[in-house]
Amino acid sequence: MGKYISPEFLDVINYAICQAVDEFLNGKAADFFTKVGEYHLDEALRRGLITIEPDDKPLNTLVKVARYLESVGYMEKILINKLSESEALVEMHGVSVTNSSVKLLRANKQPSHYMTNLMIATLRKLGIEAELKDVEFDQEKRKFKEHWKILTTSTSK
């Protein structure tokens, strides 16, 4: 193949998809993007792009997904700073869809939250629920930060 899709092109595609989803799904965009994360995970697992082991610790599983997203160029770097076994700060650097996401957020529309939905789907595969909140973002630096907290697990991890 040799050539990759540019971050700018991906950003435009993200904006167009999010706008169309918001327009056509009347308030159900977040549910739609949750399903997108689930389908992405299923396909990535099927292709062997991501592996999940039943005994993986939740935050270690998020690290696997982070490395995958870096390897495909979705983001330049994702740092997962563990605060405990059940909490972490997730810093995303060089996010390819920064401009579209910020534009959508400022217009009170639903961005794709692609990484977030993929990570939530991954945890759910392990029977784990999590909550997260946005901590900060810097459009110029293309950086976002979220606080993640593991809420429930079906087995002790």
Quick: pLDDT tens for 40-95: 999 999 999 999 988 888 888 889 999 999 999 899 999 999 898 889 999 999 99
Q: Does residue 2 sit within a domain?
A: no
The angle subtended at Cα 145 by Cα 93 and Cα 30, nearest 5°, is: 105
Q: Is the predicted pLDDT of residue 141 greater than 80, yes or no?
A: yes
Q: What pLDDT is stored for residue 120 in this prediction?
A: 94
In a domain, 16, yes or no: yes
User: In this structure, what CATH number is given to the domain that contains residue 64?
Assistant: 3.90.1520.10
The encoded tokens of residue 72 equal 């495909």
Q: Of the candidates 149, 144, 137, which has an alpha carbon nearest to the alpha carbon of residue 92?
A: 144
Q: How many residues does the chain have?
A: 157
Q: pLDDT band at 154, cuts 50/70/90?
A: low
Q: Number of structural domains, the chain?
A: 1
Considering the domain boundaries, does residue 134 fall inside one?
A: yes
Structure tokens at 144: 């976002």
